[in-house]
Amino acid sequence: MGGETILVVDDEPKIVKTVRAYLENAGFRVVTAEDGQMALTIYRHEKPALVILDLGLPGIDGLDVARTLHRDSNVPLIMLTARVDETDRLIGLELGADDYVTKPFSPRELVARVRAVLRRAGAEREQAPPPIVVGDVHIDLERRHITVDKQPLDLTATEFDLLVVLARHPGRVFTRLELLDRVQGYAFEGYERTVDAHVKNLRQKLEPDPKRPRYLLTVYGVGYKFSEP
Q: Is the N-terminal amide bond of 129 cis, ω within 30° of 0?
A: no
Q: Tell me, what's the pLDDT at 126?
A: 44
Neighbours of 125 (CB within 10 A): 9
What are the distances in angstroms from CA 86 to CA 81, 100, 101? 11, 11, 12
Question: Looking at this protein, which amino acid is placed at residue 93?
Answer: L
Per-residue pLDDT of the chain (229 residues; tens, 9 = 90+): 557 999 999 999 999 999 999 999 999 999 999 999 999 999 988 999 999 999 888 888 888 888 888 877 778 999 887 765 666 666 666 667 888 888 888 999 999 999 988 887 765 434 457 888 888 899 988 778 899 988 888 888 888 989 999 999 999 999 988 888 887 765 455 566 788 888 999 999 999 999 999 999 999 989 999 998 7
Q: Tell me, what's the pLDDT at 89?
A: 63
How far is the C-alpha of 207 from the C-alpha of 212, rounded, in Å?
8
Sign of CA dihedral 178, 166, 160, 27: positive
Q: Tell me, what's the pLDDT at 204?
A: 93
| Max Cα distance, the chain (Å) | 53
Task: Write down the pTM of the prediction.
Answer: 0.59
